[in-house]
Structure 1
C-alpha cells in the first residue's frame, strides 16, 4: 500500500458514480430525521432530556451508516426510524403514567444554589462540578451567588434562576473568572470570606487561615455585595 495515495485516500475502491448515490442516501436520511423530529415535536438540542438525546444519537448512527456505506440497505434503516418513533411515543406515554419511570428516563432537577450559597451536598450527590454552573450563571449576568434565592439545573440542562430583590441581596461568593478575584489561604483583614469551592461564608479576622468547615477547602475570597444589573 502506498502512503499518501490521494486516489486511495479520496475514493479507495469506490467508483466516482457512487458519489451521486451518497448524495441521494444523505438526502434520504435527512428527510427521515426531519420527519422524526416533526412527528415527535422536538425542539432544540438544548431543550432535550437525556432520553431524547439517546434517541437522536441512535438515529444519527443509523443515518450515518446508510448515508455512505454501499452495503447498508435503505429500507431496514427506515424500519429503525419507525421503531424508534414508536418507542419514543410509548415511553412518553408510560412516563405520563409513572413518576418513577419519568425520573429514570428524564432524571430529576438539581438545586445548585439555595439561599445565596452553592448547594454543595446536592451538587456532589449528582456527581457534578460547580464550574459549569458558574459559567451558566455568568451568562445570565449573575456576578455573585448572594443575588440568587434559588438556582435549579433542569433535566434538559437549562438553569432556572430565582433572584432576591436588591434590598435582600446577601453577601456571597463572586463567580467571576479566577483572574478577576483574589484568593487567600491567609486572609489579610477582618471581613466576611467565601470558600471559593463551596461558597460557604465565614467571618474571619486578619491573619486567619483555616479549612472550610463545609468542604475542607483552604482558599477564600472576600464576599461580594454586588447587586444584580437588570
Structure 2
C-alpha cells in the first residue's frame, strides 16, 4: 500500500469524524452515556480498520461513516422527539441517597458500590455521607449532590472562632463486613464497635450496610433495610 494513499485516507477519516462530531452536537461529548461511548468506539474502529485494509477504499470508508453517523443522528433525533425512548436508549438518573439515607436496591441496580460512591462524592468535594441530603447518579456516571443545610453554612472569617481539627471520616462497616484496617487506624476494636451499634438499637453488624466514623461525632450508620 502506497504511503500517499494512507496519508489521503487518514486526512479523509479525520475530516469525516470531525464533521460527524459537529453534526451530532456538543452534548454528545459533555453528556457521554454508555450508548454514546460504544458508538464512538465503533465509529473510530470502522475508520481505523479502513485506513490499514488494502481491500477498503475511500468509498467504502465514506459509506461506513455516513451509515454509522446516520444511525447515531437518528438515535439522537428519536430521543429528542419521543420522550419515552430516552430511558431505554440513554438511561435515566437514579436517586441513590434520599433524605440522607442510602438506597441499597438502587445502588445494586446501578452496579455501584460504596467505594465507587465515595469516590464520586469526593470529586464533588464531599468527604462524608452524613453531609449528603440527596445524591443522584446521572446518565453519564457522575453524581449530583445536594448537601445538608448544616454542611452548606460557610464559616465566617470575621469571627474569631477556635480552629477546629479537620479529620477525614473513616468507613468502618461496608455491606455488613467490618473493615479491620480502618478500625485499627482509629485505635478501636470490634468490642467498641459493637457497643456503638447497640447504642443505636442495632442488633448485629450484619444488619449494617454502611457505618462511618468521624472524631467527636456519633457513629453514622445506614442499615440494610
Same fold (TM over 0.5): yes
> Is the Cα–Cα contact under 8 Å of residues 133 and 146 in structure 2 kept in the other structure?
yes
> 2: CA distance between counterparts of 1:153 and 1:24?
43
> 1: CA distance between counterparts of 2:171 and 2:30?
24
Shift of 1:164: 1.0
State which of 86, 93, 104 in structure 2 corresponds to 1:109. Answer: 93
Deviations 1:154-183 (A, max 9, x none): 1112211111112699xxx94679899436
Q: Structure 1 residues 24, 185: CA separation in 2 closer, same or farther (over 3 Å shift)?
A: farther
Shift of 1:28: 1.6
Residue 127 (structure 2) pairs with residue 143 (structure 1): yes
Structure with the bigger percentage of helix: 2
Deviations 1:127-170 (A, max 9, x none): 3323222111112221110111111111112211111112699x
Unpaired segments of 5 or more residues in structure 2?
154-167, 173-178, 219-225
Which position in structure 2 is the counterpart of 1:8? none
> 2: CA distance between counterparts of 1:175 and 1:65?
49
> Is the Cα–Cα contact under 8 Å of residues 50 and 105 in structure 1 kept in the other structure?
no
Which position in structure 1 is the counterpart of 2:213? 222
State which of 17, 39, 44 in structure 1 corresponds to 2:23. Answer: 39
> 2: CA distance between counterparts of 1:47 and 1:19?
38
> 2: CA distance between counterparts of 1:221 and 1:175?
6
> 2: CA distance between counterparts of 1:35 and 1:168?
44
Which position in structure 1 is the counterpart of 2:11? 27
Deviations 1:101-122 (A, max 9, x none): 2111001112222222322111
Which position in structure 2 is the counterpart of 1:55? 39
State which of 91, 114, 117 in structure 2 corresponds to 1:130. Answer: 114
Residue 204 (structure 2) pairs with residue 210 (structure 1): yes
> 1: CA distance between counterparts of 2:71 and 2:81?
15
Task: Give 1:57-206 correspondences, 5 Å limit.
Answer: 57-166=41-150, 174=169, 181-182=182-183, 186-188=190-192, 203=199
Unpaired segments of 5 or more residues in structure 1?
1-13, 194-201
Q: Structure 1 residues 175, 149: CA separation in 2 closer, same or farther (over 3 Å shift)?
A: farther
Q: Structure 1 residues 41, 192: CA separation in 2 closer, same or farther (over 3 Å shift)?
A: farther
Q: How many residues align?
A: 194
**TM-score when normalising by structure 2:** 0.70
